[in-house]
Amino acid sequence: MDMIKVENLTKEFGKLRAVDNVSFSVKEGEIFGLLGPNGAGKTTTIKMLTTLLQPTHGNANVAGHDIRKDQNSVRNSIGIVFQDPSLDDELTGRENLEFHAILYKIGKEQRERKIKEVLKLVELEDKADTLVKFYSGGMKRRLEIGRGLIHEPRVLFLDEPTVGLDPQTRRHIWDYIKRLNEVSKVTLILTTHYIEEADYLCGRVAIVDHGKLVALNTPKILKDKLGGDVVSLQISGGDGALEKSFKSTKWVKAVSRHDGTMDLTVEEGEKRIPALMEIAEKHNVKVDAVSLHKPSLEDVFIHYTGKSIREEEGGAMDSMRAHRKAWSGRRN
C-alpha cells in the first residue's frame, strides 16, 4: 500500500522553480529518503506534503488524503520533526510532550499513557522531569522525534534529523530511528544531505538536484547500477582532452570530474590502473594520487549530478543568496 503518492509536484517562488515536476511513492512502513544538498528542494517538498505550502502544480496524497482538498485530515495523520529546534527549553521533557498532546486534544487518561510510552521509546524516562535546557543535543532530538509520535501518526516526517549533531550522537540517532521504525511500524520520510545517513537508514533513496528527482531506488541497486570499481585520480592541470580520451576507452564505463579529482568506473580496477596512468601521461597530466574502491552512494550522486554533494552545497547556497538578493532589490 502507498502511504504517500506524489504526482508532478511543482513549487515556484517567482521565477525560481524550487521543486520541478517531482513524482514518487512511499510504501507503508518504509523509511524513504530525499538526498540532496541544501537548496535542492527537499524541505520545500516536505512542506508541501505536510500542507505548510501549497503546490504551484501537481498533487499528492498522504495517508489517503489529498494535500490540497483535505488538509486537516493530512495534518491529523502525520507527525513532523523540523530541522530547526522547536522545543520549549523552560519546560521539562514530560511537559513538552503533554503540551503537544493537549494540542491534539488527547484525553487525560490516554495522554498519560502515551507520554509514558513515548518516554520509554525515546529512552528519556529518567530525564522526563528535567528542564529541556539541560538536555544534550541528542536528547533534544530524541524528544522531538518522540513528540512527533504522541498522537500516533501514520507518517512521520524528519527534516534533516541529525543536522548539527556530532558524529557519535548522529550514529546513535540513526540506530534509534531504525529501531523506532521496527517497533512502531510508522512510515518515515526524511530529508538529508549526509550520504552515510541515507545509505544507512533508508530502504529507498530519491536523489534530488536543483528541484528535480534524478534517481530513485534502494542504495544497493543504485550502487550496483554503476558496476565495476571506481578508480579516483587526483590530477594537476589537464584540459578536456584527457576526460575525452578516458570516455572513448572501451573498458571505461563512466567518467566524472570534481574537486580536482577524476573518477572512472571500470571493471577489474586493479588491473586497469597502469593503463589509466599511461593515458594521463600521454596527455602530459600529472597524477598526484590514485585510489580504488567499490561504488558508494557518493559515487552515485556524482554520476547523476556531475558533482559531489559538497560542491552542490556551495552552488545551492550561491543560488539561494542570489535569489534573496533579487527579492531584496525588488522590495527596495
197-236 tens-digit pLDDT: 999 999 999 999 999 999 999 999 999 888 889 999 999 7
Q: What is the pLDDT of residue 122?
A: 86
- Look at residue 313 in the predicted model and tell me its pLDDT: 62
Q: Output the CATH code of domain 2-221.
A: 3.40.50.300
What is the DSSP secondary-structure string of 111-125? HHHHHHHHHHHTT-G
| pLDDT at residue 21, rounded to an integer | 97
258 vs 160, higher pLDDT: 160
Q: Quick check: 239 pLDDT over 90?
A: no
Residues 6+ apart with CB under 8 A from 72: none
Q: What's this model's pTM, rounded to 2 decimal places?
A: 0.80
Instruction: Identify which of 21, 32, 31 has the alpha carbon closest to the alpha carbon of residue 60.
Output: 21
Domain boundaries defined on the chain: 2-221, 228-294
- CATH code of 228-294, in short, is 3.30.70.100
